Amino acid sequence: MSRESSPNHSNSDNGGGTRSGDGVRPGPAKRSRLLDEIAGPEDLKELSDADLTQLAQEVREHIIDTVGEIGGHFGANLGTCELAVALHSVLESPKDKILWDVGHQAYPHKILTGRSDRLGTIRQYGGLAPFCSIEESPHDIMGAGHASTSIGYAVGIKEGMRHLARVGESARDGEDAPAPADGRVVAVIGDGAMTGGVAFEAIGQAGGLGTPMVVVLNDNGMSIAPNVGALSRYFNRVRLNPKLWHARSGVEGGLAKLPGPIGAKFERLGPQLKESIKAFWAPGLWWEELDWAYMGVIDGHDVHALREALREALAAGRPVVVHIATVKGKGFAPAEDGGLEGMEKWHAAKPNSILGGAPAPSAPVAAGAQVKKAPPQYTQVFGNALVRECERDERVVGITAAMNSGTGLNILQEALPARYFDVGIAEQQAILFAAGLALQGVKPVAAIYSTFLQRAFDQIVHDVCLQRLNVVFAMDRAGLVGDDGPTHHGAFDIAYLRCLPNIVLMAPRDEAMLV
């Protein structure tokens, strides 16, 4: 018998313990960590909301302690602890499919699926992968490392289930044969990854097919606050109640059928009437226009609210987006309280950068000691050189796909902001944008990681090379990249570019030649 808490009847103890079907369980102050008792997602099923909240905090502390010592993706993982706990407490992974876009925020998921004791091996040779890996665990449904792919995977997985169910029904032909395995599908995608075009393509397809799936939009931006109050809760109920959802369509059609001139006037209003009714009925108008139900904004650090929203969304039997607000770096003050700058700085932690849950102090420099200056990195050399080129030639501009500091374009952004363009996680648009600039006589420099440029191969061929346009591709992170693994190896660019017409490939031997 599960131990569920409610707003009015919480199972959290006040020193007297929490009661389960097996007896009395000691309160948090008297027992070992809950995390030590979790061998897999099934162990979350009997926990109360209060216990799950405690578990999420223990997962967060485990990440701070471990990643602070060994290094790895940090801030995004601290923001998804409650979400991972809520998902695994409601769903039955791996029968139900949880798809983590990119996977750099899936450390809590790894911890809850039997890999807690191996977290210290992440990004190490022979250790856990830094992203999700289908070879590593049956709970990692898709391999990832590049952004914006989870919704597309989810549509394919759920439609595959539906297709095999139809095939199975036809093959059984009335016989008493077992139905094929089915499951619920949830894709978790961040507001950053939602800037990628393939995510929008998948949203359009799922809406058209009516694919019964859930997208959790994990929004850790600074400008969105949760909706509060009875009206917000009412809208969530209305959007996901099938009877009321169909009733809205009935109202739209019924008004036009009213007798006499009244109905005719409503019919002439046409689209304006429909949009007004829909806007009143559901604030998530963009999603609603694509035939998705919208829930939000939910507090992504409230386990009870998350679980309630997920249950309602999964029961809706249609495409649903659950929009949640989280804090990147939650529980680690320098990231949580440092604004956007703090979030960016602590996106990843370097080895031994955290001590006792706080940033490790810098080693003191002895008086009179000479500090050896580190040589500049290629990325920094490139950024400074591009600024000088922009100053020399007013036609030169720089383009990045959401990787300003990673490519060195943050230097251009600060020095000459009008010559700097960020298209979001949309490499295809970056190259099309560059082609359009080149057609107008501008000299665009598209600075993109080698591994991410793969995503824009068609645009390189069709829109740049075949048009003989003057576009410069500055590929960062060439070769093997070690810690980030095979999804990020820049090992293919020479091979896939060398076969193209009207292109010159150059690999500088040193910083001076790069300039």
Residue 342 binned pLDDT confidence (cut-offs 50, 70, 90): low
**pLDDT, tens only, 165-199:** 888 766 655 565 555 568 999 999 988 888 888 99
* pLDDT of 8 over the 60 cut: no
Query: Taking the mean position of all CA atoms in its chain, how far away is CA 323?
Result: 12
Going by their DSSP bridges, the two strands 348-349 and 72-73 should be labelled as antiparallel
Cα–Cα dist 202/193, whole Å: 13
As a whole number, mean pLDDT of residues 209-225 equals 77
Q: What is the DSSP string of 142-170?
A: S--SSSS-HHHHHHHHHHHHHHHHHHHHH
**pLDDT, tens only, 98-145:** 999 998 899 999 999 999 999 999 988 889 988 899 999 999 999 888
Q: Is 328 a catalytic residue?
A: yes
Candidate from 45-54, 174-183, 273-282, 370-379 with smallest mean pLDDT: 273-282
Calculate the average pLDDT of the chain: 82
User: Buried b vs exposed e over 17-51: b needs ≥16 C-beta within 10 Å?
Assistant: ebebeeeebeebeeeeebbeebeebebbebbbbbb
**pLDDT score recorded for residue 16:** 38
Under DSSP, the state recorded for 373 is P
**pLDDT score recorded for residue 171:** 63
* pLDDT of 432 over the 90 cut: yes
In this structure, what are the phi and psi dihedrals at residue 206, rounded to the nearest 5 degrees?
-65, -40
Out of 58, 312, 427, 477, the active site residue is 427
Candidate from 232-236, 330-334, 370-374, 431-435 with smallest mean pLDDT: 232-236
| Residue 246, CA distances (Å) to 112, 186, 253, 309 in order | 39, 24, 11, 20
As a whole number, mean pLDDT of residues 445-472 equals 95
**pLDDT, tens only, 256-279:** 566 666 656 555 555 555 555 555
Cα–Cα dist 352/66, whole Å: 9
Residue 283 binned pLDDT confidence (cut-offs 50, 70, 90): low
* Angle of CA points 174, 175, 178, to nearest 5°: 110
Going by their DSSP bridges, the two strands 320-325 and 214-219 should be labelled as parallel
Percent of the chain's residues with pLDDT above 70: 75
Residues 190 and 220: beta-carbon distance below 8 Å? yes
Q: What count of Cα atoms within 13 Å lies in the side-chain half-sphere of residue 286?
A: 5
**pLDDT score recorded for residue 229:** 45
Which residues are paired to 422 by β-bridges? 400
Q: Is 348 helix (H, G, I), strand (E, B) or coil?
A: strand
Q: Is 252 a catalytic residue?
A: no
Out of 110, 123, 419, 455, the active site residue is 455
Query: Taking the mean position of all CA atoms in its chain, how far away is CA 94?
Result: 19
Which residues are paired to 188 by β-bridges? 100, 216
**What is the model's pTM?**
0.75
Handedness of CA 113, 114, 119, 123 (dihedral sign): negative
**pLDDT, tens only, 401-421:** 988 988 999 999 999 999 999
Residue 424 binned pLDDT confidence (cut-offs 50, 70, 90): confident
Of residues 228 and 285, more confidently modeled? 285
Residue 7 binned pLDDT confidence (cut-offs 50, 70, 90): very low
In this structure, what are the phi and psi dihedrals at residue 185, rounded to the nearest 5 degrees?
-130, 125
**pLDDT score recorded for residue 402:** 87
Out of 97, 328, 330, 419, the active site residue is 328
Candidate from 17-21, 86-90, 293-297 with smallest mean pLDDT: 17-21
As a whole number, mean pLDDT of residues 15-36 equals 51
Handedness of CA 196, 302, 54, 99 (dihedral sign): negative
**pLDDT score recorded for residue 314:** 96
Residue 291 binned pLDDT confidence (cut-offs 50, 70, 90): very high
